[in-house]
């Protein structure tokens, strides 16, 4: 159904007086994971949210249905206040114990309220509307000091409509504006290829290859009415520096990726490597020149890397979403390991030779 994104989740209204948004002592120090769900109108985002909310999974999941655009309420000043300064976000208790709300302004505000609730949450879903670029979300979840220890970005999930995706990728390809579908695929950690029952097996296979040519780091799940194994989209820990093994295997699988494998879509995945240790300060300056100053006129959407830093026995990992990046030590290098720097870029107008020489210049 093309209009299934218009249907709100089935919900049961909370009884008045049961909302307690006062600050509680957290029951433990474990952060709650946030899964961001994005996709075109009609792809099945609401179907996925409903499937999760009504499932018998035994998890207490909060869903934030946002109505924000690109500005997404990073400003704390945009807090809605009711009588006497009371917060007016409306939380609704669902039949299976999950809770749901609509956020019109401040996402930070909604997340703070959630983590302050007395009842402990297992996970938070953030269903985005009209948000092609999740980088502002990443910046909130990575950089907001008050939230940092309470919530963490777990995974970005993009739902695509298998029947219409090729048309969405092709629209405006020849013009200066860039199809939103490319952005949503490029930013994703997991892509749900929904409505595969409406196309043939061969078409599904071709579509999956096209998706991987844009973003080879993402896992692709085929589905009908978004009925997927929740373990594939919850607690993925895609941004967790302590779970470096999956990132290493992704980089290993992508190390042979070259421009010749890819069609001319404009957005693609590129892997480069450097066998010599590199200087951390030089890497930061190089990255900031690419990500912040756009010196090389490349548009980087995502970047992941395993780095071998000079004078350090720690394997470092790099994660970047648009302008937001983080380099952190993950674990000790093993004696027998090949300490090669491997970086994967997903972006538009990627210049392989320039990126290779730039990384090489980061050597001490």
If you average pLDDT over residues 335-362, what whole number do you get? 90
Report angle CA 262, 267, 270 to the nearest 5 degrees: 60
Question: Which parts of 90-150 are beta strand (E)?
Answer: 91-93, 99-103, 123-127
CA pair distance 319, 302, nearest whole angstrom: 8
- Which domain CATH number covers 209? 3.40.50.300
Residue 19 lies in a domain: no
299-308/314-321 β-pairing: antiparallel
Same domain, 276 and 201: no
Lowest mean pLDDT among 7-16, 63-72, 84-93, 234-243: 7-16
Say yes or no: 315 and 278 in one domain: yes
Structure confidence by residue, pLDDT tens digits, 34-78: 898 988 878 888 888 888 877 777 888 888 876 543 333 322 222
DSSP H or E run through 332: strand 324-332
Tally the domains of the chain: 2
Give Cβ neighbours of residue 350 (< 8 Å, ≥ 6 apart): 268, 270, 298, 300
**pLDDT value at 101 more than 50:** yes
239 inside domain: no
What does the chain come to in residues?
364
CA geometry: angle at 249 spanning 154 and 256, to 5°?
Answer: 125
pTM as predicted? 0.74
User: Which of 232, 259, 285 is the last residue in one of the domains?
Assistant: 232
Of 232, 261, 283, the last residue of a domain is: 232
Clarify whether residues 213 and 304 are in a common domain.
no
Asked if 62 and 209 sit in the same domain, the reply is: yes
Whether residue 259 sits in one domain with residue 287:
yes
User: Is 85 found in the same domain as 175?
Assistant: yes
Same domain, 195 and 265: no
pLDDT level of residue 279 (50, 70, 90 thresholds)? very high
Could you tell me which residues are beta bridge partners of residue 331?
315
Under 8 Å between Cβ of 236 and 230: no
Residue 136 CA to residue 317 CA, distance in Å, equals 21
Q: Which domain holds residue 57?
A: 32-232
Which of these three, 174, 197, 232, is where a domain ends?
232
Give the largest Cα separation in the chain, rounded.
64
Is residue 32 predicted with pLDDT exceeding 90? no
pLDDT (tens digit, 9 = 90+) per residue, 176-216?
445 677 888 888 999 999 999 999 999 999 999 989 988 98
Looking only at the bridges linking them, the beta strands covering 32-39 and 314-321 are unpaired
């Amino acid at each position: 159904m093309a209009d299934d994104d218009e249907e709100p989740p089935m919900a049961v209204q909370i009884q008045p007086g049961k909302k307690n948004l006062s600050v509680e002592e957290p029951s433990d120090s474990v952060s709650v994971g946030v899964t961001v769900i994005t996709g075109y109108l009609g792809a099945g985002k609401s179907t996925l949210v409903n499937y999760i909310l009504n499932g018998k999974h035994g998890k207490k999941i909060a869903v934030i249905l946002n109505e924000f655009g690109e500005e997404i309420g990073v400003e704390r000043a945009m807090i809605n206040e009711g009588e006497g300064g009371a917060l007016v976000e409306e939380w609704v208790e669902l039949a299976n114990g999950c809770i749901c709300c609509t956020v019109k302004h401040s996402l930070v505000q909604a997340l703070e309220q959630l983590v302050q609730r007395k009842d402990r949450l297992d996970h938070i879903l953030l269903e985005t509307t009209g948000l092609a670029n999740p980088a502002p979300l990443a910046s909130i979840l990575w950089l907001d000091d008050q939230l940092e220890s309470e919530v963490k970005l777990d995974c970005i999930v993009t739902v695509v409509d298998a029947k219409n995706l090729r048309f969405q990728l092709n629209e405006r390809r020849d013009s200066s504006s860039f199809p939103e579908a490319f952005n949503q695929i490029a930013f994703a950690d997991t892509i749900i290829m929904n409505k595969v029952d409406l196309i043939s097996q061969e078409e599904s296979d071709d579509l999956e290859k096209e998706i991987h040519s844009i973003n080879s780091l993402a896992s692709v799940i085929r589905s009908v009415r978004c009925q997927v194994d929740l373990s594939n989209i919850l607690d993925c820990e895609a941004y967790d520096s302590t779970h470096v093994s999956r990132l290493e295997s992704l980089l290993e699988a992508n190390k042979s990726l070259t421009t010749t494998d890819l069609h001319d879509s404009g957005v693609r995945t590129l892997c480069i490597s450097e066998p010599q240790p590199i200087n951390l300060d030089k890497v930061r300056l190089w990255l900031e020149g690419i990500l912040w100053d756009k010196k090389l006129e490349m548009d980087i959407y995502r970047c992941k890397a395993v780095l071998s830093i000079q004078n350090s026995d720690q394997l470092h990992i790099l994660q970047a979403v648009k302008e937001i990046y983080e380099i952190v030590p993950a674990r000790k290098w093993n004696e027998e390991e090949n300490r090669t720097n491997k970086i994967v870029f997903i972006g538009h107008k990627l210049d392989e030779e320039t990126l290779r020489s730039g990384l090489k210049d980061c050597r001490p």
